[in-house]
Amino acid sequence: MTHILTVNPNQLNKKVAEELKNQKLVQPTAWAKFVKTGHSKDRLPDDSEWWYSRAAALLRSVAKLGPVGTEKLRTKYGSKKNRGHKPEHFYKASGSHIRKILQQLEKSGLIKQAEKGVHKGRVLTPKGTSLLDKIAVQLSKQERKDLE
């Protein structure tokens, strides 16, 4: 778990997204190519592989935040909407794609639903932890080689 938090998150997400795509652990839904990621966005995502990137980011967020649900993740991935001459206003991200990705990650065995005290939500399974740790260790070794 400590390796996950010490490496560059952008590089980690990129590698995890490739791994999720290669192992077919998550699959974009039929409507994924037509939707915006939230009410505050003006256009569709530029990256055609955004589903895998978001799945990797969600996996890292679940690892970092512990038992976490869709609403907390909607708030985390939300942003401010440009409303013209009116003041900006914060809107949550779309919940449907977050929920579908979490369900796919759960089906592939990387996360599971759990309760910790009064908090309930999804947490990483040992399989999910090993996937993230394996990639994080590779990245940290690569960074050390680049420094030498």
Q: Give the position of tokens 């778990």.
A: 1
Q: Taking all residues of the chain, what is their mean pLDDT, rounded to a whole number?
A: 84
Judged against a pLDDT cut of 70, whether residue 2 lies above it is answered with no
Read off φ and ψ for residue 111, nearest 5 degrees: -135, 165
pLDDT in tens, 90-110: 988 888 888 899 999 888 888
Return the bridge partners of 95, or none. none
CB atoms within 10 A of CB 139: 19
pLDDT in tens, 38-93: 777 777 777 778 888 889 999 888 888 878 888 888 888 888 888 889 998 998 88
Sign of CA dihedral 2, 137, 140, 123: negative
CB atoms within 10 A of CB 56: 26
Residue 1 has what pLDDT?
A: 57
Give the amino acid at 128. G
Residue 85 has what pLDDT?
A: 93
Q: Which two tokens stand for residue 35?
A: 């939707």
* CATH of range 2-147; options 1.10.3300.10, 3.50.50.60, 1.10.10.10, 2.40.50.140: 1.10.10.10
Question: What are the C-alpha distances in Å from 97 to residues 51, 79, 141?
Answer: 8, 16, 33
Strand duo 89-91 + 79-81: pairing: antiparallel
Nearest partner of 55 among 3, 95, 20, judged by Cα: 20
